[in-house]
């Protein structure tokens, strides 16, 4: 469908000469956001405006291919635009994703080569990309994507680690220096938040960011420094800028997922893809012991959790596949299903995957945690999709661990429930003698988790492992850090013995609604209210300084509700001050929080 000219500055029918002068302008369906694509001076640029005010300055877009800069000496040609309106089930901050957007495809020519530039403009942000035609032996040499941000605003960013396990910190744009940074990063620009990342990464190398000489955040193909050769069409991953007025809008975006292809019909509503909670022995005791697996299943059943993950080390059991099948057989009548750890090098090729997945299915396993993939160069970025496809064919769910950042592939492959790609609780373990910086947890919801679910492996209760973090903060992690495969790091024995066992058993793995509460400030404190059905959970995590918070309960519906409120105990992180109270939407919860403290509220109709 072609939109009327009021939506575009350049449409089919304009001459190439006119197109080079007039920018292509695409508006979001709600008319608040617009993106402009221009070729002023022959340089391909795009910018973003919110209510007519620039939030992203003219930013470079291009690819260097066969020695030619596709993005320079540009003439823009005709454009076509189509509306997008779709909804689909979503395992995240809410249960239904909405994809409302206008998407333009603009013909462009550089140095005699013709290609296409796509703009996707939604109410929650903008995606841009280049598409190059097939060409035998084409060499992709560099990516020229950039984000130009005016001034020196606050940015929440993490230095690049190929497994995406760095600390997020609060910085200013000028603090970035010459280091490489992973995505997503989030910037506060005036009254808006911008989150920068990429979507639909496939057949292309993973992108990092580096501050250029002109101050722009420039894309770097860190895992493909020599580029690659391709005969097929080259489709650049979407260069994404989420634009949000509020933190609630930011955590509820589905732009990254929306920019990925739809799943096959048989996967869209597949009943074997089931989010759930899992116990896990590795953080608690290390390698799984062959002779205590029935006990682990029993603990899982006592907590009412759906899954038990058997992690690295099971392959050293006597008759490992046969022994695993016995664990599955014991677990099945107890309503516990088994996930299995595997190293990525064991499922690297199609033949190896088919053989391994076949053994897993024959043993009765329902999901695989695939660990330690190498940095995501073009080949490995594609491997994620191939592996998800082959697992789906076997009706296996997937958790990619030690993985690169999420780019929304769970839309196309909903059997991929989660991935790591985050500095999670393993980094805080006593055995490693390392800790997570206090600000990190309070930044994650607005950076890494904006782009997709993450396997943080939250919630330990062992006093030895708390290391300055309170029980309230720990349980809040499990609420705030979304993961449809919610794998708990703590020992289930500690959960069963805890005075808040009922709350721990009630924690869901997916949500129907999420709100960021007043007083939240990334890097200092985060407070969220999340709803599942007719139950609300309030989660607060404090950073490195003592703070106070007044939480209104105005998100509740009418009438009286019963609440279980779990406060920290001053000077004793491994204890609760538990209070049972009737509340209404007119009530408040007032908190005085120690450094790395927290709070959890469980509110339901009474």
Residue range 353-406, pLDDT digits in tens: 999 999 999 999 999 999 999 999 999 999 999 999 999 999 999 999 999 999
The DSSP bridge pattern shows strands 337-343 and 588-593 to be unpaired
What is the rounded distance in angstroms from the CA atom of residue 21 to the CA atom of residue 75?
9
**For the CA atoms of 270, 271, 277, 281, what is the dihedral angle to 10 degrees?**
-80
pLDDT of residue 2: 35
pTM of the model: 0.96
Distance CA 433, CA 423 (A): 15
Strand-strand pairing, 45-50 and 53-60: antiparallel
The pLDDT of residue 3 is above 90: no
Average pLDDT, the chain: 95
pLDDT at res. 144 = 98
* Residues of the chain above pLDDT 70, percent: 97
CB 149 within 8 A of CB 189: yes
pLDDT at position 10 is 39
Predicted confidence (pLDDT) per residue in 499-541, tens digit: 999 999 999 999 999 999 999 999 999 999 999 999 999 999 9
- Please state, in angstroms and rounded to a whole number, the distance separating the CA atoms of residues 235 and 239: 11
Please give the average per-residue pLDDT across 592-605, as a whole number: 98
**For the chain, which domains are there?**
5-258 (2.70.98.10), 265-509 (3.20.20.70), 525-605 (2.60.40.1180)
How buried is residue 348: exposed, middle or buried, by Cβ count under 10 Å (0-12/13-18/19+)? Answer: middle
Q: Cβ(554)–Cβ(585) under 8 Å?
A: yes
Look at residue 406 in the predicted model and tell me its pLDDT: 98
What average pLDDT score do residues 57-72 get?
Answer: 98
The answer to whether 57 touches 47, Cβ cutoff 8 Å, is yes
Please give the Cα distance from 218 to 348 (Å, whole number).
31
Q: Give yes or no for a contact between 192 and 243, defined as CB atoms under 8 angstroms apart.
A: yes
Average pLDDT over residues 314-333: 98
Residue 11 has pLDDT above 70, yes or no: no
Residue 167 gets which letter from DSSP? P
pLDDT digits (tens, 9 = 90+) for 465-489: 999 999 999 999 999 999 999 999 9
- Taking the C-alpha atoms of residue 583 and residue 587, their distance in angstroms, rounded to an integer, is 6
Instruction: Give the residue ranges of DSSP H helices in 215-288.
Output: 247-251, 255-258, 265-268, 282-285
Angle at 200 between CA 33 and CA 62, to 5 degrees: 70
Q: Give the least confident one: 12-26, 171-185, 521-535.
A: 12-26
Question: How far is Cα 188 from Cα 106, in angstroms, rounded to an integer?
Answer: 30
**Mean pLDDT, residues 123-133:** 98
* The residue to which tokens 């003698």 are assigned: 433
Tokens in use for 128?
Answer: 């841009």
Looking at the predicted structure, is the pLDDT value of residue 48 above 90? yes
Name the strand (E) or helix (H) holding 101: strand 96-110
- Give residue 606's pLDDT: 79
- Segments in 332-408 forming alpha helices (H): 350-363, 378-393
Percent of the chain exceeding pLDDT 90 equals: 95
In our burial notation (b when 16+ CB lie closer than 10 A, e otherwise), range 265-277 reads eebeebeebbbbb
Q: Predicted confidence band at 21 (pLDDT cuts at 50, 70, 90)?
A: low
* Residue 190 pLDDT class (50, 70, 90 cuts): confident
pLDDT tens for residues 235-284? 999 999 999 999 999 999 999 999 999 999 999 999 999 999 999 999 99
Q: What is the pLDDT of residue 5?
A: 33
Average pLDDT over residues 417-435: 93
Q: Which helix (H) or strand (E) holds 298?
A: helix 293-303
């Amino acid at each position: 469908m072609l939109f009327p000219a009021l939506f575009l500055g350049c449409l089919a029918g304009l001459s190439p000469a006119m197109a080079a002068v007039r920018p292509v302008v695409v508006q979001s369906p709600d008319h608040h956001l617009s993106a402009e694509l221009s070729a002023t001076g022959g340089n391909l640029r795009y910018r973003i405006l919110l209510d007519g005010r620039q939030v992203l300055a003219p930013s470079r877009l291009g690819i260097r291919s066969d020695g030619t800069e596709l993005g320079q000496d540009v003439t823009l040609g005709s454009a076509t635009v189509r509306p997008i309106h779709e909804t689909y089930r979503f395992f995240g901050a809410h249960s239904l994703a909405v994809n409302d957007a206008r998407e333009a495809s603009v013909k462009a020519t550089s140095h005699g080569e013709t290609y296409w530039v796509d703009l996707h403009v939604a109410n929650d942000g903008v995606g841009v990309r280049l598409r190059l035609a097939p060409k035998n032996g084409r060499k992709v040499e560099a990516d020229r994507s950039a984000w130009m941000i005016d001034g020196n605003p606050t940015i929440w960013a993490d230095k690049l680690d190929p497994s995406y396990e760095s600390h997020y910190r609060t910085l200013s744009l000028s603090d970035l220096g010459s280091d490489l940074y992973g995505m997503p990063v989030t910037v506060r620009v005036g009254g808006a938040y911008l989150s920068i990342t990429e979507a639909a990464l496939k057949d292309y190398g993973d992108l990092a960011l580096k501050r250029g000489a002109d101050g722009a955040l420039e894309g770097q193909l860190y895992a493909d420094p020599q580029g690659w050769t391709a005969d097929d069409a080259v489709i650049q991953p979407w260069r994404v800028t989420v634009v949000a007025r509020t933190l609630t809008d930011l955590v509820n975006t589905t732009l990254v997922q929306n920019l990925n292809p739809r799943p096959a019909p048989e996967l869209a509503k597949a009943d074997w893809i089931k989010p759930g909670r899992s116990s896990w022995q590795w953080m608690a005791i290390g390698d799984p012991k062959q002779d205590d697996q029935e006990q682990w299943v029993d603990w899982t059943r006592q907590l009412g959790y759906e899954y038990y993950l058997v992690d690295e080390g099971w392959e050293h059991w006597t008759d490992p596949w046969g022994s695993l099948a016995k664990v599955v057989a014991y677990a099945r009548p107890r309503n516990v299903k088994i996930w299995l750890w595997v190293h990525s090098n064991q499922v690297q090729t199609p033949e190896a995957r088919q053989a391994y997945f076949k053994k897993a299915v024959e043993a009765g396993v329902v999901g695989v945690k695939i660990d330690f993939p190498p940095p995501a160069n073009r080949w490995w970025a594609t491997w994620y999709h191939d592996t998800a496809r082959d697992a789906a064919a076997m009706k296996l769910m997937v958790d990619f661990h030690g993985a690169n950042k999420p780019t929304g592939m769970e839309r196309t492959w909903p059997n991929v429930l989660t991935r790591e790609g985050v500095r999670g609780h393993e980094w805080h373990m006593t055995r490693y003698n390392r800790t997570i910086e206090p600000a990190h947890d309070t930044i994650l919801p607005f950076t890494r988790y904006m782009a997709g679910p993450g396997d943080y492996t939250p919630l330990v209760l062992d006093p030895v492992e708390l290391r300055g973090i309170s029980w309230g903060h720990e349980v809040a992690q499990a609420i705030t850090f979304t993961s449809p495969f919610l794998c708990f790091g703590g020992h289930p024995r500690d959960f069963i013995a805890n005075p808040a066992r009922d709350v721990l058993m009630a924690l869901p793995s997916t949500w129907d609604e999420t709100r960021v509460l007043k007083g939240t400030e990334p890097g200092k404190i985060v407070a969220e209210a999340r709803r599942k059905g007719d139950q609300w959970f309030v989660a607060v995590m404090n950073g490195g300084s003592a703070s106070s918070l007044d939480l209104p309960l105005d998100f509740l519906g009418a009438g009286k509700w019963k609440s279980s409120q779990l406060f920290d105990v001053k000077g004793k992180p491994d204890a609760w001050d538990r209070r049972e109270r009737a509340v209404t939407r007119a009530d408040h919860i007032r908190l005085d929080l120690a450094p790395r403290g927290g709070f959890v509220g469980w509110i339901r109709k009474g």
